[in-house]
Structure 1
């Protein structure tokens, strides 16, 4: 069944209004008709089964049939902090990371960031990233939309790290602590049922400078290895996310 995310204010009483590209998709692609049913979500956890009442040129109005209780979100909030990569790699991280279950994406600039970030185009970039996340969340049948933050600097990222229960920084020269062992230590310390926040910081194509690793450690970020092979920056983010989900029981770990 088709799923659409709408703003909370589009729910009014027992009706919900779907506009924009979603209304166009329903009418032109799905050939929807009155009486057809669909799932609508407000992006904050509310999910409802709705029946189309009317279709107009720019909007579709549906009646709420019933609220839907579902458990599709990970118990652990996983934040992906990704140093801005070249090309459309960040779009890949956001799309696939959303499908897997990440709850927040924090793009940032670090010392060896190669990609040029144009602050004047920030709003347009954010709009595209959020659209990608929305479509990925719909495809994955999620009930919440991940937060996509505006790009920030290194110092601001380290401040954000203090908000997480566990902050990890992927570092290819870390050969003492694997992601698996560190997560299991955390689980034993905090208890088997994990419901906290884990931040994963992934560097740019050229990796982190040693100064950044020292500063991250001073901010209580734990350097961690993702194995003996050197991964591309976009691969590292998705591998770390998958491993965390597995080790915290989301995928049967």
Structure 2
């Protein structure tokens, strides 16, 4: 009986793996669901490496859809006094993702410290972000949702600032906002096996990377050499955010 159950479990796993791979290839070829075409997209992050750890599928998917993504990073990541190193790593990572240095901006403001215990001032952050949106003629903003994926206070602060701009009608006409869905621990660490779930569950925009694009996203993360501690190697290997981004419109 036990052997039969193990055999059945193995068969289910094989079918799930095969189905996820096939669905992933098909989705990557057909493009992201409801993806915006063309235009100027801004991926708003809190730290150098956020673009690779969390938003690789969105950045590569936007490029595939014909958009011109830019990155606005709202701190230099100086928590361990590595800010200058991390800014250079960010440019290298974005280059791997196909984003030129002219489309990468780092805000190094003393009142926006890289600190997981600090919630950034919503008004200050909103002012800085809005100035960048207007200067770059941005028509799509992509950032974290209220959960911040990892619950980091700086991530959540970005959501609060963009939510404020959106709710107060301060964004330019036609500028939309997509927020990255935070998922539970199990879904977060099942890599491409989350693809079928992401396809079945309701969402507004879904970016799924092919195997080749996932390797590109991993190469981008490896540019952040100062951050490659053992647990981040595990994250790169197992996180669904290296393969799929599900986003909702504000």
Instruction: Name the TM-score class by shorter chain.
Output: 0.3 to 0.5
- Scaled by the length of structure 2, the TM-score of the pair is 0.34
Which structure carries more helix by proportion?
2
Larger radius of gyration: 1
- Scaled by the length of structure 1, the TM-score of the pair is 0.34
